């Protein structure tokens, strides 16, 4: 089978399985041998924010469909997981189940054996172990029983996707929030539901874009900050401002500990793009995030480079005072749309509704 044909078949297989799952109910699987063990295993595997383990299992099942002799537990990579997932499975899952472009590679890159040693140390380890346990259920069965175990996975996967889609994302009913109430809600959302840094970077990017939308200053790096990394994209910072002369203010957005390793990484990144002379501002939680640094001040000179530290809540409140009421409404709607995407974790959605509903 040619590569393109194989990837198209992988996409068709997953799409068909999800379509079939939508017509089933839990009672269709209650006669399965080890039903309750399977149910617990699938819940540990599927009902988590981590997408990679669901991707590993979807890839393994698809690999077995394409080649009945494929052994995912002992030779996972022999099915060419990057190709069949990124060019096939991903497009079948997209919009139906939370997934990333390279899910299985994120947790099993260059891994051939899937077992306890692989699962150990993964986050969450319970999901990684569930992937191993579920694949063992498949490998130890055959015929119609094996097919029913596979169908159970797709039923729970479809059920999980629908549960996320059914969460209604709310927005304030009033015409607009007051500036400081809006800023307080936004700060609380950023600090309480950071989603591994995605939300703080997105919020700061949107605020800066709105502040400068009618000026000659450009806000760069926002999308890459949310969906990429500095190392791979050769960016000077998470977000930066540019005018006709080029970049002039660099912002690192974080709600995690800032240590000297982080400063070293920043210096290395700046040096790689010849921007060591540009001002760097860490937008973070003062003084919590800089507790391990030899400063409780708002700046620190390290290896001849000065770093500035700004409290993220204060920064958000300050930017809010520069917005129009119409811009606040626009920002709220933009964020509501982002949070409403199926890719956003349930915790993020519930946090948004708690604050803005």
The structure tokens listed for 37 are: 């063990």
Cα angle for residues 283, 301, 255 (degrees, 5° grid): 20
Beta bridge partners, 317, equal none
* In contact, 79 and 66? CB cutoff 8 Å: yes
Give the pLDDT confidence score for residue 235 in this predicted structure. 86
Mean pLDDT for all residues in the chain? 94
Mean pLDDT over residues 197-215, rounded?
96
Check residue 86 and report its DSSP letter: I
Q: Which ranges of 100-176 would DSSP assign to H, the alpha helix?
A: 103-108, 116-119, 125-139, 143-165
pLDDT band at 294 (very low <50, low <70, confident <90, very high): confident
Does the pLDDT at position 209 exceed 60?
yes
Give the pLDDT confidence score for residue 97 in this predicted structure. 97
The crossing angle, in degrees rounded to 10, of helices 346-356 and 325-340 is 150
Q: Would you call 174 exposed, middle or buried from its count of C-beta atoms within 10 A (0-12, 13-18, 19+)?
A: exposed
Q: Would you call 316 exposed, middle or buried from its count of C-beta atoms within 10 A (0-12, 13-18, 19+)?
A: buried
Q: In angstroms, how far is the first alpha carbon of the chain from the final one?
A: 51
The crossing angle, in degrees rounded to 10, of helices 3-21 and 143-165 is 80
Give the pLDDT confidence score for residue 295 in this predicted structure. 80
Check residue 212 and report its DSSP letter: T
Can you point out the beta strands (E) in the chain? Answer: 218-220, 239-243, 246-253, 280-284, 299-302, 305-311
pLDDT band at 225 (very low <50, low <70, confident <90, very high): low
Q: What is the pTM of this model?
A: 0.85
Residue 76 neighbours by CB under 8 Å, 6+ apart: 56, 59, 60, 108, 111, 112, 113, 114
Does the pLDDT at position 175 exceed 70?
no
The CA distance from 348 to 105, in Å, is 24
The crossing angle, in degrees rounded to 10, of helices 179-192 and 198-211 is 150
pLDDT band at 222 (very low <50, low <70, confident <90, very high): confident
Give the pLDDT confidence score for residue 230 in this predicted structure. 42
Beta bridge partners, 249, equal 241
pLDDT digits (tens, 9 = 90+) for 35-52: 999 999 999 999 999 999
Does the pLDDT at position 229 exceed 90?
no
Beta bridge partners, 241, equal 219, 249
The structure tokens listed for 319 are: 């930017």
Give the pLDDT confidence score for residue 234 in this predicted structure. 74
């Amino acid at each position: 089978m040619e590569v393109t044909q194989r990837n198209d078949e992988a996409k068709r297989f997953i799409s068909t399985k999800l379509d079939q799952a939508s017509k089933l109910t839990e009672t269709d699987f209650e006669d399965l041998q080890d039903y309750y063990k399977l149910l617990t295993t699938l819940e540990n595997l599927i009902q988590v924010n981590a997408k990679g383990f669901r991707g590993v299992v979807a890839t393994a099942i698809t690999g077995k469909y394409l080649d009945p002799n494929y052994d995912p537990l002992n030779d996972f990579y022999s099915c060419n997981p990057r190709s069949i997932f990124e060019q096939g499975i991903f497009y079948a899952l997209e919009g139906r189940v939370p997934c990333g472009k390279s899910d299985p590679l994120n947790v099993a890159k260059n891994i051939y054996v899937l077992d306890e040693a692989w699962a150990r140390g993964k986050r969450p380890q319970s999901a990684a172990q569930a992937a191993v346990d579920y694949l063992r259920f498949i490998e130890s069965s055959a015929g119609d029983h094996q097919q029913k175990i596979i169908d159970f996975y797709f039923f729970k996967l479809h059920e999980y996707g629908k549960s996320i889609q059914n969460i209604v994302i709310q927005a304030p009913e009033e015409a607009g929030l007051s500036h400081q109430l809006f800023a307080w809600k936004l700060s609380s959302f950023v600090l309480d539901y950071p989603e591994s840094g995605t939300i703080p970077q997105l919020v700061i990017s949107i605020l800066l874009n709105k502040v400068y939308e009618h000026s000659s200053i450009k806000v760069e790096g926002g999308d890459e900050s949310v969906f990429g990394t500095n190392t791979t994209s050769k960016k000077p910072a998470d977000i930066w401002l540019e005018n006709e002369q080029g970049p002039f203010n660099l912002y690192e957005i974080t709600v995690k500990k800032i240590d000297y390793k982080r400063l070293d990484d920043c210096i290395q990144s700046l040096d790689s793009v010849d921007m060591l002379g540009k001002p760097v501002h860490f937008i973070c939680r003062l003084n919590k995030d800089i507790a391990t640094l030899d400063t409780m001040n708002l700046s620190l000179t390290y290896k001849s480079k000065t770093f500035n530290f700004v409290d993220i809540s204060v920064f958000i409140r300050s930017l809010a005072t520069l917005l129009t009421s119409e811009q606040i409404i626009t920002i709220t709607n933009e964020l509501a749309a982002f949070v409403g995407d199926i890719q956003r974790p349930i915790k993020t959605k519930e946090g948004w509704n708690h604050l803005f509903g």
